[in-house]
Amino acid sequence: MIGGKEVVVHAHRRLRRGALIWAGVLLALIFSVMAAWPGFRDSETGVLTDDLPTAVTRAFGLSDLGDPAGFLDSNLFSLVLPLLLICVAVAWANGLTAGDEDAGRLEVELSLPVTRAGLMVRRFIVAAGWLVGLGVVVVLGLLVAMPALDLDASLARTMGATAAVVLLAILHGAVYYCAAGLGAPRNQALGIAGGVAGAGYVLRSLLPLSEPLEPVEVVSPWYWLLGDGPVQHGVPIGGAVLALVMVGVLLMVGNWGLTRRDIRPA
């Protein structure tokens, strides 16, 4: 596509400042969470949670708080970090797709010799690249904080957990992309992506509180990628592959819709 490089450079420029701010936010989050580790390590929290049903401790991310891997899963990888990165992914997808369309900025852009799908996929790839960059920042933050606070968890599993969380965020960005491609205005697309994120969390974490409903967790992207705790038990490879396939399918469906509909005027 003519101008493909410019699409990438321009999208990169648009996201750069926000990405640096988010990197700072994530580092602050990591250091503040990790600062609590010595307290948990030396406390009797395990005794408290041992009396709770497994489903409840898992639902609220309370499992094995005195264990390094359990601490990381409970305090970072079960909710806070995925939620933040999903917000970033959806906000970026919004700014680069439906948000831009609703603002009328695609009117001139798409009158130039670029294809709709070529423009949008490149933008999405740039956003996904920045999310991977944020994942690297998370890993670097953990690499500094873990030895400093004597938190001895598997580095490989911690990196795998970070990758899984980044992929979960990209998947939700792709949900937004698909909705926007099919013609949803920004608020609707935000609602759809937010709904998928919320439903996914509920399906994985809260519905299993009831034993008969536990099997439904397999339809949740949170379950595909985070399993029973990515640092404690590792990232489910099958789930990660499924998530990657879903990202591809969502992008294709989004592009299919985008090329067959009218671009909304300002």
Partner 1 sequence: MSAVPVVSCVGVTKRFESLTAVDRLDLDIPAGIVFGYLGPNGAGKTTTIRMIMGLARPTSGSLALFGVDPASPRNADVRMRVGYLPGELRLDEKLTSGEQLEHWARLRGPTSVDATYRDALVDRLGLALDRPVRTLSTGNRRKVGLVGAFMSRPELLVLDEPTSGLDPLMQQEFLSMVDEVRAEGRTVLLSSHVLSEVERLADRVVVLRAGQMVLDGAVPELQRQALQKLTATFNGAPPVAELEGLAAVTDVTVDGATVTCRITGPVHPVLDVLARHRVEAITAPQREIEDAFLDLYDTSGSPEQPNGADT
Residues that bind partner 1 (CB under 8 A): 1-3, 5-7, 9-10, 14, 103-105, 107-118, 259-263, 265-266
User: Cα angle vertex 210, ends 209, 214, to 5°?
Assistant: 85
Question: For residues 42 and 111, which CB has a smaller minimum distance to partner 1 in the complex?
Answer: 111
207: its two tokens: 């519905």
Nearest-approach distance from CB 154 to partner 1, in angstroms = 42
List b or e across 164-200, with b for residues whose CB sees 16 or more CB atoms inside 10 angstroms.
Answer: bbbbbbbbbbbbbbbbbbbbbebeebbebbbebbeeb
Nearest-approach distance from CB 23 to partner 1, in angstroms = 19
What is the SS3 assignment for 111-159? CCCCCHHHHHHHHHHHHHHHHHHHHHHHHHHHHHHHHHCCCCCCHHHHH
Nearest-approach distance from CB 39 to partner 1, in angstroms = 43
Question: For residues 41 and 116, which CB has a smaller minimum distance to partner 1 in the complex?
Answer: 116
Question: For residues 47 and 266, which CB has a smaller minimum distance to partner 1 in the complex?
Answer: 266
Question: For residues 109 and 228, which CB has a smaller minimum distance to partner 1 in the complex?
Answer: 109
Nearest-approach distance from CB 177 to partner 1, in angstroms = 17
Tell me if 161 sits within 8 A of 230, measured CB to CB: yes
Question: For residues 210 and 259, which CB has a smaller minimum distance to partner 1 in the complex?
Answer: 259
Tell me if 74 sits within 8 A of 230, measured CB to CB: no
CA atoms of 200 and 198, how far apart (whole Å): 5
Question: For residues 10 and 41, which CB has a smaller minimum distance to partner 1 in the complex?
Answer: 10
List all residues 6 or more positions away from 175 whose beta carbon is below 8 Å from its beta carbon.
192, 193, 196, 250
